[in-house]
């Protein structure tokens, strides 16, 4: 995603707001439908059925027909994705959208000629039913751009974000499989023994961030000073996030180039985040530790790495059930919670094998994907069947 500041004329702004209104209307209609259907017990209409209903609604209402069908259909598509995220337990249930709050719409099937550069700092994007809208050409345009999203923030500033799916990287053809484990001590560990870290705030940045956060606490609500402090915070955060995204791009490209198959854990970040608050089986236990761990996980941008890997190495990413991968000895396959000496060290209680804990887990992830059943011997920490070779299908998440 590359975001640019959009500079619409007043007339264009009115037209953009109309698109936002249509997208919001369609989205809220979908939300209402799903709430209604939930009470009824039967399953709610899916994307295809909603599109059919949209066609009917457009035939009936002239004001809706006057808007862009792309904007309206994409709002339905966004809603379908939001529901999928909700069922996948990575996001909350989609809710009502209000005027003036996070407004926006998406345009797809964008052609190369729909964006042009006027000068060094000025570009133009063609918006259906609005025309050419200028934006500040503040960074390079991503290659292979297929869609964009236009948003208006609470301060009334317009942005356009172009989305590009990177071209797949050809496999090296070596037959090599790599396991990637989301680390506790490092951001990610590879089964090759490499440890990857994702940059966060530099020392001086951390100090500055803490300072502006204290300023924010003192700044009065609604004051000009508060707005300024908030902007300073946003700038610091944006710089950190740019750096993190950059590292994820480089890492995913590197992995796609070097290995034929990339095995990653299928952990649901959201689930782990929730459990820290104590809504799962063990309410509120180890909240402090977990909160720190969750922050680290989210900071490491694991989800983004997985998505980029799918883009760059389509069909070559294997997600693996993470069960026992951190407690299984990669040398003798013995499972014991006690083998995890510390966060950093794995020391097998059965054979004495010693390794970096995250690297040991990454090797188990690799072996599971390669078809060797992990968790074959030893007692199951969860009291499941003992000494049984688990089905490969059960270990593979999909
Ligand atoms: Zn062992």
pLDDT digits (tens, 9 = 90+) for 127-155: 999 999 999 998 788 777 889 999 987 77
Tens-digit pLDDT profile for residues 337-377: 888 878 789 999 999 999 999 899 999 999 998 875 444 33
The pair of three-digit structure tokens given for residue 101, joined into one six-digit string: 């709050």
Residue bearing tokens 């700038």: 235
Does residue 315 surpass a pLDDT of 50? Answer: yes
pTM for the structure as a whole: 0.62
Nearest C-alpha neighbor of 305 from the set 250, 360, 248, 267: 248
Does residue 9 surpass a pLDDT of 90? Answer: yes
Q: Could you tell me the pLDDT band of residue 159, with boundaries at 50, 70 and 90? A: very high
Report d(CA 8, CA 15) in Å as an integer: 10
Q: What per-residue confidence (pLDDT) applies to 391?
A: 36
Q: What per-residue confidence (pLDDT) applies to 334?
A: 93
Contacts with 393 (C-beta within 8 Å, 6 or more apart), sequence order: none
Q: Could you tell me the pLDDT band of residue 286, with boundaries at 50, 70 and 90? A: very low
- 357 CA to middle of ligand 1, Å? 13
Q: Provide the β-strand partners of residue 328.
A: 335
Percent of the chain with pLDDT over 90: 32
Beta pairing, strands 345-347 & 354-356: antiparallel
Q: What per-residue confidence (pLDDT) applies to 393?
A: 38
> If you ran DSSP here, which 8-state letter would residue 340 be given?
B
Nearest C-alpha neighbor of 302 from the set 267, 255, 272, 345: 267
Residue bearing tokens 């869609």: 147
Element at 210 (helix H, strand E) = helix 203-218
- Of 11-25, 92-106, 291-305, 383-397, the poorest mean pLDDT is in 383-397
- 397 CA to middle of ligand 1, Å? 25
- 346 CA to middle of ligand 1, Å? 10
3-state DSSP call for residue 321? coil
Report d(CA 173, CA 349) in Å as an integer: 38
Region 270-275: what's the mean pLDDT? 45
**Burial 234-268, CB ≥16 within 10 A → b, else e:** eebeeebeebbeebbeebbbebbebbebbbbbebe
Residues serving a catalytic function are 181, 265, 358
Q: Is 142 left (phi over 0), alpha (psi -120 to 50) or beta?
A: beta
- Cα 250 to Cα 58, 114, 153, 165, 385: the distances in Å are 45, 29, 30, 15, 42
Region 310-314: what's the mean pLDDT? 91
- 194 CA to middle of ligand 1, Å? 21
Report d(CA 16, CA 20) in Å as an integer: 6
If you write DSSP's letter for every residue of 347-374 in order, what string do you get? E-TTT--EEEHHHHHHHHHHHHHTTPPS
- 55 CA to middle of ligand 1, Å? 62
Does residue 160 surpass a pLDDT of 90? Answer: yes
Nearest C-alpha neighbor of 96 from the set 42, 179, 31, 17: 31
- 32 CA to middle of ligand 1, Å? 55
- 192 CA to middle of ligand 1, Å? 18
- 378 CA to middle of ligand 1, Å? 10
Query: What angle separates helix 224-258 from helix 203-218, to the nearest 10 degrees?
Result: 150
- 265 CA to middle of ligand 1, Å? 21
Q: What per-residue confidence (pLDDT) applies to 138?
A: 84
Q: What per-residue confidence (pLDDT) applies to 267?
A: 62
Q: What is the dihedral of CA 85, 181, 321, 335, to 10 degrees?
A: -150
Contact 2, 141 (CB under 8 A): yes
Residues, the chain:
398
- Cα 99 to Cα 21, 28, 39, 286: the distances in Å are 8, 11, 27, 40
Does residue 234 surpass a pLDDT of 80? Answer: no
List the strands of the sheet with 2-7, edge to edge. 103-107, 145-152, 158-164, 2-7, 131-136, 122-127, 115-117
- Of 196-200, 267-271, 325-329, the poorest mean pLDDT is in 267-271
Q: What per-residue confidence (pLDDT) applies to 376?
A: 38
Q: Could you tell me the pLDDT band of residue 90, with boundaries at 50, 70 and 90? A: low
Contacts with 37 (C-beta within 8 Å, 6 or more apart), sequence order: 43, 44, 45
Q: Could you tell me the pLDDT band of residue 96, with boundaries at 50, 70 and 90? A: confident
Q: What per-residue confidence (pLDDT) applies to 39?
A: 56
Residues within 5 A (CB) of ion ligand 1 = 329, 331-332, 334, 348, 350-351, 353
Contact 330, 355 (CB under 8 A): yes
Selected residue with higher pLDDT from 121 and 157? 121
- 360 CA to middle of ligand 1, Å? 11
- 180 CA to middle of ligand 1, Å? 20
Element at 3 (helix H, strand E) = strand 2-7
Does residue 16 surpass a pLDDT of 90? Answer: yes
């Amino acid at each position: 995603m590359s975001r640019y500041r959009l500079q619409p004329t007043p007339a264009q702004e009115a037209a953009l707001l109309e698109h936002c209104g249509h997208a919001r209307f369609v989205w809220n209609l979908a939300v209402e439908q799903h709430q209604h259907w939930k009470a009824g017990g039967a399953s709610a209409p899916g994307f295809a059925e909603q599109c059919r209903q949209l066609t009917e609604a457009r035939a009936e209402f002239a004001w809706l027909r006057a808007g862009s069908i792309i904007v309206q259909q994409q709002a339905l598509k966004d809603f379908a994705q939001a529901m999928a995220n909700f069922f996948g337990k990575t996001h909350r249930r989609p809710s009502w959208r209000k005027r003036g709050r996070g407004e926006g719409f998406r345009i797809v099937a964008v052609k190369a000629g729909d964006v042009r550069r006027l000068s060094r700092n000025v570009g133009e994007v063609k918006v259906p039913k609005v025309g050419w809208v200028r934006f500040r050409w503040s960074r390079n345009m991503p290659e292979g751009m297929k869609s964009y999203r236009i948003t208006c923030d609470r301060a009334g500033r317009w942005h356009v974000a172009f989305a590009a799916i990177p071209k797949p990287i050809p496999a090296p053809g070596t037959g090599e499989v790599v396991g990637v484990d989301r680390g506790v001590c490092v951001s990610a560990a590879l089964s090759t023994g490499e440890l990857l870290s994702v940059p966060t705030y530099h020392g001086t940045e951390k100090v500055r961030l803490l300072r502006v956060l204290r300023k924010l606490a003192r700044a009065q609500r609604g004051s000009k000073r508060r707005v300024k402090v908030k902007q300073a915070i946003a700038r610091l955060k944006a710089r950190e996030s740019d750096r993190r995204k950059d590292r994820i791009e480089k890492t995913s490209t590197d992995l796609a180039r070097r290995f034929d198959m990339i095995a990653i854990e299928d952990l649901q970040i959201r689930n782990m985040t929730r459990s820290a608050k104590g809504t799962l089986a063990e309410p509120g236990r180890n909240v402090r530790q977990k909160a720190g761990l969750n922050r680290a996980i989210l900071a490491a941008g694991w989800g983004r790495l997985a998505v980029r890997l799918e883009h760059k190495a389509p069909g070559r990413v294997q997600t693996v059930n993470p069960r026992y991968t951190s407690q299984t000895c990669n040398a003798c396959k013995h499972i014991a919670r006690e083998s995890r000496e510390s966060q950093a060290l794995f020391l097998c209680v059965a054979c004495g094998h010693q390794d970096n804990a995250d690297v040991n887990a990454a090797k188990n992830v690799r072996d599971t994907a390669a078809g060797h059943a992990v968790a074959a011997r030893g007692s199951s920490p969860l009291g499941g069947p003992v000494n049984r070779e688990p089905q490969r299908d059960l270990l593979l998440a999909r």
